[in-house]
Amino acid sequence: MSETGRQHWLAEGRPRLGLALLLLAVLSMAMLLFEGARPAASAGLAPFPHFDKVLHFGAHCWVASLLFAGGMLLARPAGLRRRLRVWIVVVLLLDGLAGVAVEYVQLWLGARYGRQFDWKDVVANLSGTVFALVAGFIVSFLLMRRAR
């Protein structure tokens, strides 16, 4: 790929791929909300204490990664640096709110199945979101720098 092709890809984005990733992120969020209202899985013993926190971290890292990559590929708003700042804030707000919402769903709908609200889960959710955003920022920065 030529240098101009790389610049075009970064500047223009891939809107269809971006929309597909955003749709996958929305479906993943819906799945997390739905899962919070169901009975807790009893697939066996956890490999170590607080293993559920790793699952919370991973799930929200996945959703935040999809949201961030999808948003960056939409090529909106114009300007790579501005787009980077906007989508970091959007992802932090959306996935942050979803992380708290999942816990409230467990409190309200999952209570009859023994599920409960846990602030440690919220911290794990937000940690996954922040980790994905830091990784996304680093990758975006390296790609922008390489395209110069």
Domain ranges of the chain: 3-36+53-147
Render pLDDT for 62-113 as a digit per residue (tens, 0 to 9): 999 999 999 999 877 778 889 999 999 999 999 999 999 988 888 888 777 7
Whether 43 has a pLDDT exceeding 60, the answer reads no
Check if the beta carbon of residue 15 is closer than 8 Å to that of residue 83: no
Strand, helix or coil for residue 46: coil
Contact between residue 101 and residue 56 where contact means Cβ atoms under 8 Å apart: no
Our CA angle for 78, 129, 146, nearest 5°, is: 45
Q: How far apart, in whole angstroms, are the C-alpha atoms of residue 126 and residue 92?
A: 8
Predicted local distance difference test score (pLDDT) of residue 145: 81
